[in-house]
Amino acid sequence: MAATELDQVVNLCKRRGFVYPSAEIYGGFRSSYDYGPLGSLMLRNVREAWIRTMVQERDDVVLIDAAILAPPQVFEASGHLANFSDPLVDCTKCKQRFREDHLTDPNVCPGCGATGSFTEARAFNLMFKTYAGPVEGAGAEVYMRPETAQGMFVNFLNVLQTSRKKPPFGIAQVGKSFRNEITPGNFIFRTREFEQMECEFFVPPAESAQWYDYWCKARLQWYIDLGIPAEMLKLRPHDDDELSHYSAGTSDIEFMYPWGWGELEGVAQRTNYDLTQHANHSGQKLDYFDQANNERYVPYVIEPAAGVNRAMAAFLLAAYDEDEVGGEARTILRLHPRLAPYKVAVLPLSKKETLTPLAQEIRRTLGARYMVEYDDTQSIGKRYRRQDEIGTPLCVTVDFDSLEDGAVTIRDRDTTEQVRVPIASLVDEVSTRLGF
């Protein structure tokens, strides 16, 4: 299979209703995207797959949903007000602005080719600021969170006291974050408004190295289990000069994007930095008393931090394929069934009234368990192609024989194999094939 070009996926996303440019009727809003009927389902599936693995299938992680707006004190304590910035340079010739750390040659402008035309680098804070209440000005300033993580730290005590967990345990959250990125781009890879899936895993300090190792491996495996080929993924430990102000070690899980290796998720060893900072700034004791050993300590934190949109881009890029069926070219998204927007398509062979009631009944039965699409337009061949292109793992075709023999045809997206199945056992058959 040839490497997927970004344009192939961007076009498919637009054509089939996964992702649209934001505010398109007004000419678009740069590097912002809206998720259509299929894209919103897929985003939900990415979130749910993460919550399933990180929360549902284990007993040491709980989920929260914290506020997006936060007062400045939170970000003073976290260090974001002082440190969360990118170094910016302006080209004095073409007036374009660049991130200094993204330049291949710090002396050459990638915009116009001029040499030595850059201004001194200036720190540009990435947080969006706004005002709470009717009066703009000092005292009313609030920030839109640039990461979900601080919601877990400021709620550490609440969760500890109400959930009966003790270290090692984690607090997970999925939600929107906002960064005034200087160079957004590469489709949904880097946008100013995006969604994160983060877990702060609190551990006894002596166990932090072992848990860091555990989470690096576990998070890499999550992408493989959801269908990304292992050779398109790698774990890259950060060099010392790349580490964030709070980090004692970070590894990026990188994906082979069409433009090269890039970050998909970061796993950071945040030490006790955040809890200590919030304890100092708030005056609250943010620690844990270990009764068994009669000792009080501030837990260390391991943080796996992923992006919902960035993960969706990687899943789409890895799943995109073109092949031939019966001498005819087709585009196919080989998405894992858990990620596919629709799990099953119900396709009556004809629009004739005699078939509709049975086909609708099957749609209702399957629809109680799965996201199902019902499509009775065009030829059956075209409808199969459409479902292949949006990644639907199974098609169920209802034909005139179904009225007589009480059976339907199931078609598999990847093999295109078709088998006849009694309607009475259809739900079981679908469940076996999907794996859930």
Binding residues for ligand ATP, rule: CB under 6 A, are 147, 179, 181, 190-191, 194, 196, 263-266, 305-307, 309-310
**Closer residue to ligand ATP (CB): 147 or 373:** 147
**Closer residue to ligand ATP (CB): 265 or 399:** 265
Look up residue 207 and give its two tokens: 């166990």
**Closer residue to ligand ATP (CB): 126 or 209:** 126
Query: What is the number of alpha carbons within 13 Å of residue 257 lying toward its C-beta?
Result: 21
**Closer residue to ligand ATP (CB): 196 or 331:** 196
In the complex, what is the shortest distance from the CB of residue 263 to ligand ATP, in angstroms, rounded to a whole number?
Answer: 4
Q: Residue type for 99, please?
A: R
**Closer residue to ligand ATP (CB): 314 or 347:** 314
In the complex, what is the shortest distance from the CB of residue 176 to ligand ATP, in angstroms, rounded to a whole number?
Answer: 11
Which H or E run includes 277?
Answer: helix 273-282
In the complex, what is the shortest distance from the CB of residue 12 to ligand ATP, in angstroms, rounded to a whole number?
Answer: 20
In the complex, what is the shortest distance from the CB of residue 250 to ligand ATP, in angstroms, rounded to a whole number?
Answer: 8
Bond prior to 184 in cis (omega within 30° of 0): no
In the complex, what is the shortest distance from the CB of residue 209 to ligand ATP, in angstroms, rounded to a whole number?
Answer: 20
Which H or E run includes 31?
Answer: none
In the complex, what is the shortest distance from the CB of residue 336 to ligand ATP, in angstroms, rounded to a whole number?
Answer: 19
In 3D space, the residue among 379, 375, 372 whose CA is nearest the CA of residue 328 turns out to be: 379
Nearest position to ligand ATP, beta carbon: 307
**Burial class of 97 by CB neighbour count within 10 A (0 to 12, 13 to 18, 19+):** middle
Backbone angles phi, psi at 282, to 5 degrees: -95, -20
In the complex, what is the shortest distance from the CB of residue 183 to ligand ATP, in angstroms, rounded to a whole number?
Answer: 9
What is the rounded distance in angstroms from the CA atom of residue 187 to the CA atom of residue 14?
11
**Closer residue to ligand ATP (CB): 74 or 426:** 74
What is the rounded distance in angstroms from the CA atom of residue 432 to the CA atom of residue 351?
29
**Closer residue to ligand ATP (CB): 199 or 346:** 199
**Closer residue to ligand ATP (CB): 214 or 261:** 261
**Which sign does the torsion angle of CA 13, 16, 22, 25 carry?**
positive
CB of 343 closer than 8 Å to CB of 394: yes
In 3D space, the residue among 4, 2, 1 whose CA is nearest the CA of residue 313 turns out to be: 4
In the complex, what is the shortest distance from the CB of residue 436 to ligand ATP, in angstroms, rounded to a whole number?
Answer: 26
In 3D space, the residue among 402, 405, 391, 408 whose CA is nearest the CA of residue 346 turns out to be: 408
**Burial class of 219 by CB neighbour count within 10 A (0 to 12, 13 to 18, 19+):** buried
